[in-house]
């Protein structure tokens, strides 16, 4: 973490009040392994500063959560795994590298739930999932890159993000990134987005809420 970047990022966040801190501490007591949050930020960009302070506030709540605040070009692993053309860009990393779950933007509003779920799924106790489902996930042979475009007030977006990132955490052939559409007008224009959730898998676009099973059926 560069000292200049560290100095520009407040340690407290308006997104994490005392009640939320208390709730998150209780949730994070279930963590059993380390997870590293690598965030590539632009210290001159308000959204990056907001994300940095949010991550600082969250990382303080558990010894299992490591935080690295980075600038573009500072960490080859983060630069290689994440979309650093669009900042802030944050990914979850484990002992063996990138875990496949990432966030473009600030996961505030409804999306804080998907952010917490990603940490819990990455570093918490393993879930017991249906064996048929696990067999289908194991059959994925091609790289599947999912982007879920959201708004922070969307009621249906968080479940899609969590479904995609759960698949990413279970398969090395899946990556899933939440994208806060309002921050990236170039992506909105490129993909002609008019509503959310919008799910981009490769170059194919799907609209509306999807369950984990429905998402899995779209993967190869």
Burial of residue 39 (CB within 10 Å: 0-12, 13-18, 19+) is buried
Structure confidence by residue, pLDDT tens digits, 14-55:
999 999 999 999 999 999 999 999 999 999 999 999 999 999
Write down the H helix ranges in 109-192.
Answer: 112-123, 131-138, 157-170, 185-190
Please report the domains of the chain, with CATH numbers, ordered by start residue.
3-217 (3.40.30.80)
Burial of residue 74 (CB within 10 Å: 0-12, 13-18, 19+) is middle
Claim: this prediction has a pTM higher than 0.85: yes
Residue 206: predicted pLDDT: 97
Q: Which helix (H) or strand (E) holds 147?
A: strand 144-150
Q: 176 with 168: CB under 8 angstroms?
A: yes
Q: What is the dihedral of CA 215, 114, 25, 31, to 10 degrees?
A: 30
Structure confidence by residue, pLDDT tens digits, 62-80:
999 999 999 999 999 999 9
Summary mean pLDDT of the chain: 95
Structure confidence by residue, pLDDT tens digits, 109-126:
889 999 999 999 999 998
| CA dist list (Å): 121 to 118, 168, 202 | 5, 10, 24
Angle formed at CA 23 by CA 163 and CA 159, multiple of 5 degrees = 15
Pick from 64, 66, 63, 54: nearest CA to 20? 54
Residues 100-112 as b or e (16 or more Cβ within 10 Å = b):
bbbbbbbbbbbbb
Structure confidence by residue, pLDDT tens digits, 165-188:
999 999 999 999 999 999 999 999
């Amino acid at each position: 973490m560069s000292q200049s970047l560290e100095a520009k990022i407040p340690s407290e966040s308006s997104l994490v009040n005392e009640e939320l801190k208390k709730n998150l501490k209780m949730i994070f007591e279930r963590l059993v392994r380390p997870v590293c949050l690598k965030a590539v930020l632009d210290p001159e960009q308000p959204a990056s500063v907001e994300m940095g302070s949010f991550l600082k506030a969250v990382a303080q709540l558990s010894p299992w959560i490591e935080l690295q605040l980075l600038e573009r070009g500072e960490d080859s692993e983060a630069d290689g795994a994440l979309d650093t053309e669009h900042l802030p860009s944050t990914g979850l990393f484990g002992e063996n590298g990138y875990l496949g779950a990432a966030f473009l933007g600030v996961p505030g509003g409804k999306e804080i739930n998907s952010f917490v779920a990603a940490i819990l799924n990455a570093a918490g106790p393993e879930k017991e999932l249906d064996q048929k489902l696990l067999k289908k996930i194991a059959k994925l042979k091609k790289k599947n890159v999912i982007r879920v475009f959201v708004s922070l007030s969307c009621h249906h977006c968080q479940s899609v993000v969590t479904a995609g990132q759960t698949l990413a955490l279970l398969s090395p052939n899946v990556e899933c990134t939440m994208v806060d559409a309002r921050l990236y007008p170039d992506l909105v224009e490129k993909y002609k987005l008019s509503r959310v959730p919008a799910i981009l898998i490769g170059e194919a676009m799907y609209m509306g809420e999807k369950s984990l099973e429905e998402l899995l059926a779209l993967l190869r």
